[in-house]
Amino acid sequence: MHALWKTPALTLLIFITMLVTESSCPDKNQTMQNSSSPMPEVNTTVFVQMGTKALLCCPSSPLTKVVLVTWIITPRGQPPCIISYKAETRETHESNCSDRSITWASTPDLPPDLQISAVALQHEGRYSCDIALPDGNFRNIYDLQVLVPPEAIHFPGENRTAVCEAIAGKPAAQITWTPDGDCVTKTESHSNGTVTVRSTCNWEQSNVSVVFCVVSHLTTGNQSLSIELGRGGTSSPPSLLTIIYVKMALLGIILLIVGFSFFQKRNYTSNASGSTWSASSERESMSCRKMADKLDMGQISSFDKAKLKKTE
């Protein structure tokens, strides 16, 4: 140890290393819940979103004094993996570690913090960092919990109902509705620890035409989705056959209009007596066109249902 103080270059290097680790620990993307205890042991629950990087810090201590750093990694239901660093020889050692995404946060000769490059569900568990100093040992224990954003889907159901689902989130998402309806909410737990929540609501009052479901989760905040309710009775989406019938009817109407206007022109040029007939046919064709427009609108609005609106 005394040798270090004689070489200013090395001292500087170690000092810089300390600064770097101090500034990058803790990670901003982790929510720390401090259930602190008197030193030398600190237990912390850490929540990390699946797929993001996690950085776990050792107890901060002057690196010049560190003798040994030991990480004991115990993912739930798996044997522990041990990573250690001996300062005197600058040697790292691994035992039973197979997960390549768990590494030292910096280069192998600059411990002590630990990094998980992309957190997955199987990384949940206990992580402890032991730092041995000449004047005692210090330990940080982390209970790593993985957050999984749910996939939110929504659609109108039958009989003035609407359905909102938050699929495979961890922890379970919350679903709320505006305005309040008559709701049934079911949750289904999956073996990997994620939960699917499905809420089905019914609105009796016919003056409610659009409802909003809000899916709330730690990872995504509040997602607001709007659903258009059908008019009373059944409001199932139009089947393919219905669409074809409507299209055929429209085609027939257009053909009629074309035919009428063709006759009208011919009658206009040939004799004057036909003018009353052609005038009435024009009125008829006008009303046909209006009907066609109405049908078109109905078709568009039925396709326009279930628009997605996101608000953060």
Ligand X SMILES: *[C@@H]1O[C@H](CO)[C@@H](O)[C@H](O)[C@H]1NC(C)=O
The number of beta carbons lying within 10 Å of the beta carbon of residue 241 is: 8
CB of 90 to ligand X, least distance (A): 22
With beta carbons less than 8 A apart as the criterion, state whether 149 and 166 touch. no
Q: How far is residue 109 from each of residues 17, 19, 93, 106, 165, measured CA to CA in Å?
A: 11, 16, 11, 8, 48
Pick the stretch among 13-21, 109-117, 216-224, 252-260 that binds ligand X (CB under 6 A): 216-224
Closest to ligand X by CB, 207 vs 271, is 207
Pick the stretch among 61-69, 109-117, 203-211, 290-298 that binds ligand X (CB under 6 A): 203-211
Candidate list 121, 172, 253, 256; residue touching ligand X; CB under 6 A: 121
CB of 32 to ligand X, least distance (A): 4
Pick the stretch among 2-10, 37-45, 242-250, 256-264 that binds ligand X (CB under 6 A): 37-45
- What gap in Å lies between CA 26 and CA 101, rounded to an integer? 19
Closest to ligand X by CB, 107 vs 207, is 207
User: Residue 165 corresponds to which amino acid?
Assistant: E
Closest to ligand X by CB, 98 vs 271, is 98
Number of residues written out for the chain: 312
Q: List, as one string, the DSSP characters of 106-165.
A: S-TTS-S-EEESS--GGG-EEEEEEEEETTEEEEEEEEEEEEBPPEEEEEE-SSSEEEEE
Candidate list 7, 20, 22, 36; residue touching ligand X; CB under 6 A: 36
For residues 80-119, which are near ligand X according to CB under 6 A? 80, 95-96
- Token couple for 142: 């982390």
Contact residues toward ligand X (CB under 6 A) are 28-29, 32, 34, 36-37, 41, 43, 52-53, 79-80, 95-96, 121, 126, 141, 148, 158-159, 168, 176, 190, 192, 194, 205, 207-208, 216, 221-222
